[in-house]
């Protein structure tokens, strides 16, 4: 196993951000922070940046302006962040589904799909009532439908890591996958 320093040097040399994609609740923000700390890279959460820019939470943007307006803001924010160079970027669950965002992510970054089973995802997202797409009578069914619809998009990410294990194992699996992807041997 290569050290975090070697991986970070390779990432910096390629001048590419690492972008974490996947369903809400798969751990993109939490694992992203841990990975960024481990690789000594900045961590950026695109949803948090949009909230900061707009002065309101994502749920309010969805409710007041609509999903289409949010997706437009999201596309632009992702493009702007990725132009800043190496970092660990966590994007919203629907970002990689959007053709423009997905194309940009695939062209400019190292994309990593954090994949989790529906039980783990639901257990995690049920702790938070700020998920606009889950404000339905049956949020677990909606989550399962979203996962099924989004899976073909997530599968296009360059690296696939299961995120229904211990946090430290997830980060180690990402680092191992990055070593293989970057041909660090």
pLDDT at 120: 87
Q: Decide: 170 and 31 in contact? Cβ < 8 Å.
A: yes
Residue stretches of the chain with pLDDT short of 50: none
Tokens of 50: 């949009």
pLDDT at 67: 85
Using DSSP's 3-state secondary structure scheme, residue 116 falls into coil
Closest CA to 122 of 143, 151, 96: 143
pLDDT at 88: 98
pLDDT at 63: 85
Phi, psi values for residue 87, rounded to 5° = -170, 175
Closest CA to 125 of 112, 109, 141, 111: 141
Contacts of 35 (CB under 8 A, 6+ apart): 18, 20, 41, 43, 88, 171, 174, 175
pLDDT at 143: 83
Closest CA to 39 of 13, 58, 60: 13
Distance between CA atoms of residues 42 and 108, nearest Å: 17
Using DSSP's 3-state secondary structure scheme, residue 38 falls into helix
Q: Which domains occur in the chain, in start order?
A: 4-181 (3.40.50.300)
pLDDT at 142: 83
pTM: 0.91
- HSE-up (13 A, CA, CB side) for residue 68: 0
Distance between CA atoms of residues 87 and 16, nearest Å: 8
pLDDT at 91: 96
Tokens of 71: 């997706």
């Amino acid at each position: 196993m290569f050290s975090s320093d070697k991986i970070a040097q390779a990432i910096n040399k390629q001048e590419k951000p690492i972008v974490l994609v996947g369903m809400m609740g798969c751990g993109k923000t939490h694992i992203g922070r841990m990975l960024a700390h481990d690789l000594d890279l900045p961590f950026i959460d695109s949803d948090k940046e949009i909230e900061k820019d707009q002065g309101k939470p994502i749920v309010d943007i969805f409710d007041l302006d609509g999903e289409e307006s949010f997706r437009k803001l999201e596309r632009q924010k992702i493009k702007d962040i990725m132009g800043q160079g190496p970092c660990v970027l966590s994007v919203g669950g629907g970002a990689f589904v959007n053709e423009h965002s997905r194309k940009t992510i695939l062209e400019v970054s190292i994309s990593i799909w954090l994949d989790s089973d529906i039980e783990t995802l639901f257990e995690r997202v049920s702790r938070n009532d700020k998920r606009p797409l889950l404000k339905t009578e049956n949020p677990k069914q909606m989550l399962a439908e979203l996962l099924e619809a989004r899976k073909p998009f997530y599968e296009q990410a360059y690296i696939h890591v299961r995120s229904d294990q211990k946090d430290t194992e997830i980060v180690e699996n990402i680092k191992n996958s990055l070593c293989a992807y970057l041909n660090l041997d």
